[in-house]
Amino acid sequence: MVKPIEIVILAAGVGSRMRSEKPKVLQTLGGVPLISHLLETAQDLNPVKIHLVVGRHASDIKNRIGDRIDINWVIQEKPKGTGNALAQVVPHLFLESRLLVLLGDAPLVKRETMEALLSENSDLVVLTTKVSNPTGYGRIVREEGKLSEIVEEKDTSSSQRLINEINTGVMAINSAKVGAWVNKITDDNTQKEHLLTDMVKIACKEKALVSSIEVSDSSEVQGVNTFSQLANMERVLQKNKAEKLMETGVQIMDPTRIDIRGTLIAGKGVVLDINCIFEGKVVLGDNVKIGPNCVISDSRLDSGSVLKANSVAEGAEIGKNCSVGPFARLRPGALLGDDVSIGNFVEVKKSIFGVGAKASHLAYVGDSEVGAGANIGAGTITCNYDGANKSKTKIGKNAFIGSNSSLVAPVSVGDEATVGAGSTITKDVKDGELAVERSSQRNVSGWMRPNKKD
């Protein structure tokens, strides 16, 4: 009979070595809190309950991830060690379940690894790994090849310090055994804490079935205590994400220079240049090309579109075969139809561009509707804000807006209409009309240019 799964995540640590006001499990990795990575993987296992053990930062953690109904919040009033933390969970456990213990600051444990632990036919199974430098970790001590105890760094003998197989802190236990075992854990150690690692020795003394599983890639189970370790973990996460994308056919010019801080869904033939950042949910259609140094947040680019170097797209929807950039900025609400061209130093906010419309350089288009085929010249701005309210500008199909024009909203320019260069338009322009607003030019003969004073 398959036992139901329960998961406990130990997340009461404060992260004192980071010297941060933010609790350790809320430090961000890939754009989301450490704890969120574990919760996402844990949910994939369909547990009957997830127990989250928190300490003095409980309210901060609840506010950040939400007071979710699938989480049983367990408070560890005083930081007395991992054994004491698990003891707080015992009254909430189903005795017939299989309990998976995870650490809140070790978020990269894979689902496959968790499933292997849970399926192991032992009363207690410990996840281990081997490292070249085991300093700071609990050592795995074996007798005739069998796991007999875990000894923390501060309590090791000189010979035990040479052991390079370490404890990861992750284990699976038959819940019926947990209560009795944690009650036998004492603080008779250098740290004067109730350590969960002592459970191994207790279980072995009771002739329980104790085993271990070794994970070959130690980066999967590394924990975070410092910002340096967090930075290293970030690169591990990004490397994993980049490899998955490349396996699906995405070409990444340099996998070490990409940051995905959310979800990136990419079609066939996608090319990503260096130093690109993807935040929130980003969807890239087939044959999309992203130039170097771009930032894309919560946006969609349909097939064949190109985002050129040093451009930003935030909350934007870009149609097929569009060209954006270089140095363009699409702000929330920018909706580009197919074959639209947005050039260098053009900013678009809360505006719709029809099929084939263009704003090729040095323009600001905000709170506007731009018709299909319209052409907006260099230096053009839509004056959408009067200091109190924002108003709308409408530019018709195939309209032509000359360079250095100001369209003072609310205003509309009709289909096939033309605005002469350097005009300030405050009145509606009808279909096919030419609107020109300029002061008269005056040339002064004999004018003396100013000279620099000595």
**Which tokens hold the place of 135?**
């300093």
What DSSP string runs through 154-183? Answer: GG--TTGGG--EEEEEEEEEEHHHHHHHHH
Amino acid at 144: E
Nearest to 191 by CA among 354, 80, 104: 80
| Angstrom distance (rounded) from CA 424 to CA 404 | 9
Nearest to 58 by CA among 106, 14, 103, 116: 14
115, 202 Cβ separation under 8 angstroms: no
Give the side-chain half-sphere CA count within 13 A for 261. Answer: 15
Q: For residue 194, what are the CA distances in angstroms to 64, 84, 182, 191? A: 29, 6, 9, 9
| Angstrom distance (rounded) from CA 10 to CA 217 | 22
Under 8 Å CB-to-CB from 216, ≥6 apart: which residues? 129
Nearest to 313 by CA among 325, 267, 337, 303: 325
| 194 is annotated as an active-site residue | no
- Which residue out of 37, 51, 57, 361 is catalytically annotated? 361
Task: Match 């560890």 to its residue by tokens.
Answer: 76
Collapsed DSSP state (helix, strand, coil) of residue 108: coil
Active site residues: 361
